[in-house]
Amino acid sequence: MVRIYDTRTRQVEEIAAGRAVRMYTCGPTVYRHAHVGNLRTYLLSDLIRRVLELRRVRVLVCQNITDVGHLADDADEGEDKVLAQARAEGRSVSELARFYEDAFRRDTGALGLRPPEHMPRASEHIDLMIELIAKLIEKGHAYAVPDGSVFFDVRTFPTYGEISGIRLDALKPAHRIDAVDPRKRFHADWALWKPATGELSWDAPSGRGFPGWHVECSAMSLRYLGSRFEIHTGGIDLRFPHHEDERAQSDAAAGHEVVRHWVHGEHLLFDGRKMAKATGNVVLLSDVVEAGLDPLALRLAFMEHRYRQQLNLTWETLRAADRTLRRWRSRVAEWSESVSAPMPRDHVARVEAAIEDDLDTPSALRALRELERDESVAPGAKLEAFLHLDQVLALDLPSEIGKARVLPPGAGELLEARARAREAEDWAASDRLRDELAEMGVRVGDTPEGQTWA
């Protein structure tokens, strides 16, 4: 069975997979490009999906698009991020949201992420949120105030804090005591509906306004996946308050635990620093491509570390992943010219067992490298194994099959240098250059007529 670490129970648990598994992933707020740290989070749900599908389990995925309600600093007060950025770029809210939504879809496609079955936009599901808010008020879990705001009454949900470990009795009022919102019954209550007029506002029973960020995910997950579903994923930063608030809303409305497993991916650093616009340390997928690297090299670099470990990504890490990716594609193309043979079950079983054990992709990749080097396994068997496992890895390993071999940049110069080294009988330099070429995905052989490459 596939096992995954459940943030709420704090242990690795089996995913009870019947014929189908339903999974919700918190999607992007479409006011800017997704950086590579964001994209690592979305790889998490893609890997879960692919490993389950390898076991012939149907996976139904819903991933929302937040185009309203997400305020600056993830707070209850302030300006909507989409609205603020639209004004800064001189676009309408709709134009800005669609531009960055399309960019997000292109980036996730280039990273080999399967598109979800449902990708609802928050702005197109306001009616669902209004209905959910009305239900919470009716059940005594929410209350309206005179200015048209509606708040969730967190003290009506006794198990609040089980995901993050932050308990209600430990929560203190934010910043200063006089900053506590006098409209709230309790300082930790949060807004389900906020009064507003203008481009991002809708009519509701409590008055014109817009929904809170947290209620959006509750409404859309309940609508598209039902009142019980197996997996909810997101970045580790969403545990509190977003996922705590979402769980409280959904469970209070449904009357039972809605999500079976909460799964979170860890932060990504780049060159040892957290990604932030203020420090100029934001790296986009387009930056990776402009550096001459395959976008799937980023996917491979992510998989070199476990999803719930903090990852310090560097340009050298990405270049190394790119070399490995090109080498594997070259080897697969080479093996495809041999007679097919049954997969080496021991090697394949080790890779699959690692991936199924809480997505231990580093161990899986180590086992795959051992298979690549194992000279006792026939080339045709290696081909079948790599193609089979690429259903989960999604590195497009067959892409070079049938193509005319083209040397990667710089390989021609290394081949010429190696030929000169062999003429001078400098065998140490010859071996070193051969190893460098192998890292670039170029295999060099020696014949009486001279060196060959493939």
| Distance of alpha carbon 259 from alpha carbon 232, whole angstroms | 7
Q: Is 188 helix (H, G, I), strand (E, B) or coil?
A: coil
Q: What is the CATH number of the domain that holds 65?
A: 3.40.50.620
Which neighbouring-strand residues pair with 408?
A: none
Blockwise average pLDDT, block size 10, the chain, 454 residues? 96 88 96 95 97 95 92 73 91 94 98 98 97 98 97 96 89 58 92 91 95 95 97 96 97 98 96 80 95 97 97 96 94 91 96 98 98 95 97 96 79 88 90 89 77 76
Residues 319 and 170 in one domain: no
With both helix axes pointing from N to C terminus, report the angle between 379-393 and 345-356 in degrees, rounded to the nearest 10: 10
Residues 147 and 192 in one domain: yes
Determine whether 10 is exposed, middle or buried from the number of CB atoms within 10 Å of its CB (0-12, 13-18, 19+).
exposed
Residues annotated in a binding site for Zn(2+): 26, 217, 242, 246
Residues 121 and 197 in one domain: yes
E strand or H helix that includes residue 273? strand 273-274
Residues annotated in a binding site for ATP: 277
Residues 145 and 252 in one domain: yes
Residues 203 and 311 in one domain: no
Q: Output the pLDDT for position 192.
A: 97
Residues 251 and 276 in one domain: no
The domain in which residue 331 lies consists of 270-400
Determine whether 195 is exposed, middle or buried from the number of CB atoms within 10 Å of its CB (0-12, 13-18, 19+).
middle
Residues 280 and 208 in one domain: no
- pTM score, whole prediction: 0.88
| Distance of alpha carbon 108 from alpha carbon 268, whole angstroms | 17
Residues annotated in a binding site: 26, 217, 242, 246, 277
Total domain count for the chain?
3
Residues 299 and 218 in one domain: no
Residues 141 and 49 in one domain: yes
Q: What is the CATH number of the domain that holds 280?
A: 1.10.730.10
Q: Output the pLDDT for position 178.
A: 45
| Distance of alpha carbon 201 from alpha carbon 95, whole angstroms | 17
Look at residue 321 and tell me if it is in a domain.
yes
